[in-house]
Amino acid sequence: MAIDLDIATALIIKQVIELSGGGYTTIHLLHVYNLNNDTGKDNGSKEGTSGGPDKADLVEKFKQWKMCLQEAIPAGKVKGYLLTGMVHQCILEVAKDIKPQLIVIGKPEKARRFSFYKSLNADELSRSSKCPVLSVMNKDWHNKTKTILLPVRDFIPVRKIELLAVFAKIYRARIFLVAMQNNFFVREKEQQVLLETYRVLRNGLNNKVEYRLLKGNNFPRAIATYAEEIAADILIVNPKTETRVSSIFRTAISDILPTNSQLKILSVVPYDDM
């Protein structure tokens, strides 16, 4: 998981602790930094590397979070990576090396123009790494997951279902399936896939499962609206195809959510695109 050592870090840590279930698991803690007094020659370093006073403070904070996580999950193993470079690229490089089952990040923020910290795009990260990416909102609170929303298009979302099964074992959450019903014509293929997915989940899970047909012409926008309507805690989507609200303005679901939204977004690349 990637942390910023600020407000989002506590929420990310809490989320990871929940997902671990307190069992034996290996968690990789990653922070990417940029210090003004860096020479630029330090392309990557493990935690504890010597440096100026600013870097020493950063290393100390990182160690404290690592220790906090280890104490919360004594049966697990926690490894730390304190790197300098481009955030997106550092995450991809570590992911390529460790092959994680899940990447957890804070909600992507829009970076200032020419900023060192380019906007961390969960969709792009998921598509590049082929690993599921969970975006946690940068809020001051964390609620336990009670409702999971899973959109369905014109194919059985096998990889989504596999991840949903993992979450279903951890949380006694209600599951809502949604597909699009166009304002002008009926999407028969989507409805058939929705019902088939519903049957698969009803037969395989003990969680309560419901399904809905959403009306409109913009599926991602309809998903975002419905997620807020049912107070969904987690939204499981395919990157871009189910998250891009506007291609012209490059607007994603996370950009149109209310400022007080607690929705966590899990971006999952379908098996056919891997």
Identify the H or E element spanning 134. strand 133-136
Q: How far is CA 131 from the centre of its chain?
A: 10
DSSP code for 247: T
Residue 165 has a pLDDT of 93
Check whether 1 has a pLDDT greater than 90: no
Whole-Å CA distances, 81 to 46, 96, 110, 150, 177? 5, 14, 24, 33, 37
Pairing assessment for the beta strands 251-252 and 244-246 based on DSSP bridges: antiparallel
pLDDT exceeding 70 applies to what percent of the chain?
84
> Using one digit for the tens of pLDDT, what is the confidence trace for 144-185?
789 999 999 999 999 999 999 999 888 889 999 999 987 666
- Region 83-110: mean pLDDT is 88
> Using one digit for the tens of pLDDT, what is the confidence trace for 170-179?
888 999 999 9
Q: How far is CA 162 from the centre of its chain?
A: 16
Cβ-count burial 149-171 (b if 16+ within 10 Å, e if not): bbbbbeeebebbbebbeebbeeb
Order of strands, sheet of 103-106, starting from the edge strand that comes earlier in the sequence? 103-106, 133-136, 264-267, 234-237, 147-151, 174-181, 209-215
More confident residue, 73 or 45: 73
Q: 135 φ, ψ to 5°?
A: -100, 125
DSSP code for 261: -
Measured distance CA(262)–CA(265) in Å, rounded: 10
Identify the H or E element spanning 97. helix 87-98
> Using one digit for the tens of pLDDT, what is the confidence trace for 199-244?
999 999 999 999 999 988 899 999 999 999 999 999 999 998 999 9
- Mean pLDDT of the chain, nearest integer: 84
Residue 37 has a pLDDT of 45
Q: What would the two tokens of residue 267 be?
A: 């971006």
End-to-end, the C-alpha distance of the chain in Å comes to: 21
Residue 160 has a pLDDT of 97
More confident residue, 56 or 176: 176
More confident residue, 226 or 136: 226
Residue 108 has a pLDDT of 54
- Helix, strand or coil, per DSSP, at residue 32: strand
Residue ranges and CATH numbers for the domains of the chain are 7-136 (3.40.50.620), 147-269 (3.40.50.620)
The residue with tokens 């803690």 is 29
Check whether 99 has a pLDDT greater than 90: yes
Q: How far is CA 111 from the centre of its chain?
A: 18
- Global pTM reads 0.86
Q: Which amino acid is residue 153, in one-letter code?
A: R
Q: What angle do CA 195, 199, 201 make, to 5 degrees?
A: 115
- Helix, strand or coil, per DSSP, at residue 236: strand
